[in-house]
Amino acid sequence: MSEWDKKRDLMQRYNLTAHLYDMRYAEEQNVKFDVALKNVTVEDGLILDVGCGTGLLFNRIAEKTETVVGLDFSKKLLFEAKKRGRKLRNVHLVLADADNMPFKEDVFDRVFAFTVVQNTPNPAETLREIKRVAKNDAVVAVTGLKRVFNLEEFKRLLCGAGLEIVNLESDGEKLKCHMAVCRISYVKPS
């Protein structure tokens, strides 16, 4: 199956089940948010939520920061996110693929990517794209499902994409994923 076929199948699955997403995943996602937000400040700046789904993270961060951009490739999930973010004036939604984001380089101060990399055909490419749109010294919080990546694989994936791991949590019964907080650090060519 080609990369495009895999993405299309996943998009169709999310489109078909978007109305059930919160019921199925809200509790699990909130555990991830709790862990990430202990380690990532969201005051001020421009924040990107890659794979934002129904926008569960929006209510937790929108009032504390300048602007939140939610990106997802599922129209139906974004429709649910739009309903959630209706009262939040600083939340903007973008229908796009995480591997080809329609943003310039060096835009975002913080990037959240929960439940994304294990769903992409090439996780390293997805992480490189996240790095591309993040500013130098930006903070990136990213998860990797434990049943897809063992801890060493996840670390190698992050480091291979040029992300500097600042904090890594993988313990606990409720956390079904590895949670990494990384810093973007690179020297731009002159």
Q: Is 156 among the domain residues?
A: yes
- pLDDT at residue 166, as a whole number: 95
CA 184 to chain centre: 15
Compute how many other C-beta atoms are within 10 angstroms of the C-beta atom of residue 148. Answer: 14
Residues of the domain holding 91? 3-184
Answer whether residue 189 is part of any domain.
Answer: no
Which pair of structure tokens corresponds to residue 51?
């794979």
Q: Is residue 104 part of a domain?
A: yes
Let me know: does 50 contact 110? Beta carbons within 8 Å.
Answer: no
Rounded to 5°, the CA angle 10-14-20 comes to 150
The predicted pLDDT at position 151 comes to: 92
Q: Tokens 């509790």 label which residue?
A: 27
Query: What tens digit of pLDDT does each residue of 113-156 get?
Result: 999 999 998 999 999 999 999 999 999 999 998 889 999 999 99
- Calculate the CA dihedral of residues 174, 79, 39, 62 and round it to 10 degrees: -140
Q: How far apart are CA 137 and CA 111, in angstroms?
A: 11
Q: How many domains does the chain have?
A: 1
Q: Is residue 164 part of a domain?
A: yes
Nearest CA to 132 among 101, 86, 92? 101
* 190 belongs to a structural domain: no
In a domain, 171, yes or no: yes
Domain of 79, CATH number, reads 3.40.50.150
Assess if residue 73 is contained within a domain: yes
- How high is the pLDDT of residue 137? 92
Q: How many CA atoms lie within 13 A of 24 on its CB side?
A: 8
Low pLDDT (below 50) residues in the chain: none
Q: Is residue 12 part of a domain?
A: yes
